[in-house]
Structure 1
Amino acid sequence: MSASPGDRRRRSAGGRYARQSPVGRLAGKAALITGAASGIGLATVRRFTEEGARVLAVDLDAGRTAHAVAGYRGAVAVGTDIRDSSQVDAAYDRAFTEFGRLDTAVNAAGVSGAQADLCDLTDEDFADVVAVNLAGTFYSVRAAVRLMRRMSPAGGSIVNVSSVGALANFPLPAMYPASKAGVLGLTRAVAALVASDGIRVNAVAPGATDTPMLPQDEPVRRAVVDLGVLRRAASAEEIAHTILFLASDESAFYTGQTLSPNGGYVMH
């Protein structure tokens, strides 16, 4: 059967259908994104604002964050230490003050920690990584749920950034995959707890990504990248595309799931 004139108008190059809406996928929505000054967090701020969202961009240094998101229409920078639950709560209060609502929270803040032999790692090395990657994510998820429950109707989407290191046996400093695996457990548990509130909670577990956290020593970098069958690192923007999908209504039937754009490190 031949395509109708309307169908033909909607087709783009290569036979795919182009999105026709004059507004973005997140138009009218408000988001809070941690780790927003660089890497995956910054790329996500950019994609969200391009899709019409207003964004509270959260990172440790307010000035650096403001500089990073300058020019992104709808982005407001806030300095927050996510290891401190009172600061996290204050950031969410600021989001509600700025936007009057919260539709999405993206927890992209993370650290890799000390690069050392297992037996040389200190208690502080372990605790510092867990404080940012796991406790900080928990504080943010808890604050997001509180606000999302206040909306009428209640609801929203939370996206937690984990790592392919939580899914595979990579020789990484122990506290990093441990903390990122904890993020996956947190994601599943909270997804079950808040489903009746209309809140969806999912995770993204990226493989090697071209951010400051990827090893800068070229032989080490090459060895890490070559673990994936695509034999390259993802761009931060490629990971942000997956986060955008989970934040948007296109993923309305996803909750408690982990999407892993990892270049073939792990295959399911």
Structure 2
Amino acid sequence: MSEQQQNPVTQHPQPEFEQQDQQHPGHTEEMRPEPDHGESSYRGSGKLEGRRTVITGGDSGIGRAVALAYAREGADVLFTYLEAEEKDARETVRLVEDAGRRAVAVPCDIREEAACQALIDRAVEEFGRIDVLVINAAYQMSQPDSIEGITTEQFDRTLRTNLYGMFWLSKMALPHIPEGGSIINTTSVQAYKPSPHLLDYATTKGAIVTFTQGLAQYLADRGIRVNAVAPGPVWTPLIPATMPDTEEFGKQSPLGRPAQPAEMAPAYVFLASQEASFITAEIVNATGGTPLP
């Protein structure tokens, strides 16, 4: 990130934004303001030199910012995207390759066990091992009527994307993660302060915290660390694609704005790096000032 000291309140765009609606899963270039993934600001220093990394949902948002940062830190990146996000995926490929690293983009719906196995097989074929597995892809859909508006279909999709995919990929990747490797999950402020309109999503994010802490204890003696990042509101395509009101999104945070994806990436870099060697079973909160347990 930029070394220039700035006021975090005014460093990035603040609400009110223009109202904008997109079909799920949403596209970066249609957003106003366009998200910042660190294209002009992130500077690497070799923290992940030679690492082989896998990132789910790397086409846009937090996933793209992490892919860019990992590449600039010296890592090769294989990432997943949905077929509808191919244009965004091509831009992530460009950013990784411009950093001088290998980029492998794989269309994959992690709701399907076979697709998860094919993804891990592809990663091993391409890289030989998986040093860092970042499970970031997620599904949410706001329902103003909370439980009364959440259909079984939506509940199933949310759980299969956010939990089943995490379970399958972690289990399948383990034989290919060497000592010193790590798994990094993405939970949310919703795990601790659930919004009624995101009840199913918040439920999965709470489960991710528990899964992270339990798996970390199991894998500690293998020298594999497991941690998670808990973002607050972040300006990504998921917002106009799943939320009815984008005008004041993020205004509720103490900093008065949503985060940009670029502001999340350093946490994922740190947790993947050797500098975090004594950190496992931890949740790094990046909420813009919202206190969490």
For the criterion TM > 0.5, the same-fold answer is yes
| Matches of 2:144 and 2:258, distance apart in 1 | 23
Determine which of 250, 273, 281 is the counterpart of 1:256: 281
1:250–1:222 CA distance, 2 compared to 1 (3 A): farther
Are residue 159 (structure 1) and residue 184 (structure 2) matched? yes
Q: Is the 8 A contact 2:139 2:162 kept in 1?
A: yes
Q: 5 Å matches for 1:106-185?
A: 106-117=134-145, 118-148=147-177, 151=178, 154-185=179-210
Determine which of 60, 63, 69 is the counterpart of 1:38: 60
**Deviation of the 1:183 alpha carbon:** 0.8
| Matches of 1:246 and 1:48, distance apart in 2 | 11
1:144 aligned partner, one-letter code: A
2:225 aligned partner, one-letter code: R
Structure 2 residue matching 1:109: 3-state secondary structure: coil
Structure 1 residue matching 2:119: 3-state secondary structure: helix
| Matches of 1:130 and 1:25, distance apart in 2 | 34
| Matches of 1:217 and 1:81, distance apart in 2 | 18
State the partner residue of 1:193.
Answer: 218
Q: Which has the higher contact order (CA 8 A, sep 6+)?
A: 2
Q: Is the 8 A contact 2:142 2:197 kept in 1?
A: no
**Deviation of the 1:221 alpha carbon:** 3.7
| Matches of 2:114 and 2:88, distance apart in 1 | 20
1:174–1:249 CA distance, 2 compared to 1 (3 A): same
Q: Report which stretch shifted further, 94-103 or 60-69.
A: 60-69
1:131 aligned partner, one-letter code: R
1:24 aligned partner, one-letter code: G
RMSD of equivalent CA atoms: 2.3
| Matches of 1:35 and 1:134, distance apart in 2 | 14
Q: Is the 8 A contact 1:31 1:55 kept in 2?
A: yes
Q: Is the 8 A contact 2:185 2:228 kept in 1?
A: yes
**Deviation of the 1:60 alpha carbon:** 2.1
**Deviation of the 1:267 alpha carbon:** 4.4
Question: How many correspondences in the alignment?
Answer: 246
Per-residue CA distance 1:192-234 (angstroms, 9 max, x = gap): 1111111100011100001112357999445541221111111
1:137–1:219 CA distance, 2 compared to 1 (3 A): closer
State the partner residue of 2:124.
Answer: 96
**Deviation of the 1:80 alpha carbon:** 1.1
Q: Report which stretch shifted further, 191-200 or 67-76.
A: 67-76
| Matches of 1:83 and 1:222, distance apart in 2 | 31
Structure 1 vs Structure 2: percent identity of aligned residues?
A: 36
| Matches of 1:108 and 1:218, distance apart in 2 | 19
| Matches of 1:23 and 1:214, distance apart in 2 | 32
Q: Is the 8 A contact 2:233 2:258 kept in 1?
A: yes
Structure 2 residue matching 1:31: 3-state secondary structure: strand
Larger of the two Rg values belongs to structure: 1
1:191 aligned partner, one-letter code: A
2:209 aligned partner, one-letter code: L
| Matches of 1:60 and 1:216, distance apart in 2 | 14
**Deviation of the 1:13 alpha carbon:** 8.6
**Deviation of the 1:99 alpha carbon:** 1.2
State the partner residue of 1:8.
Answer: none
Q: Is the 8 A contact 1:112 1:129 kept in 2?
A: yes
Per-residue CA distance 1:43-87 (angstroms, 9 max, x = gap): 111110111100111122284464132322221111111011221
| Matches of 2:127 and 2:56, distance apart in 1 | 17
Structure 2 residue matching 1:203: 3-state secondary structure: strand
| Matches of 1:176 and 1:13, distance apart in 2 | 36
Structure 1 runs of 4+ aligned residues shifted over 6 Å read 216-219
For normalisation by structure 2, the TM-score amounts to 0.78
1:169–1:122 CA distance, 2 compared to 1 (3 A): closer
Q: Which runs of 5+ in 1 are unaligned?
A: 1-11, 15-21
**Deviation of the 1:111 alpha carbon:** 1.1
**Deviation of the 1:265 alpha carbon:** 1.8
State the partner residue of 1:228.
Answer: 253
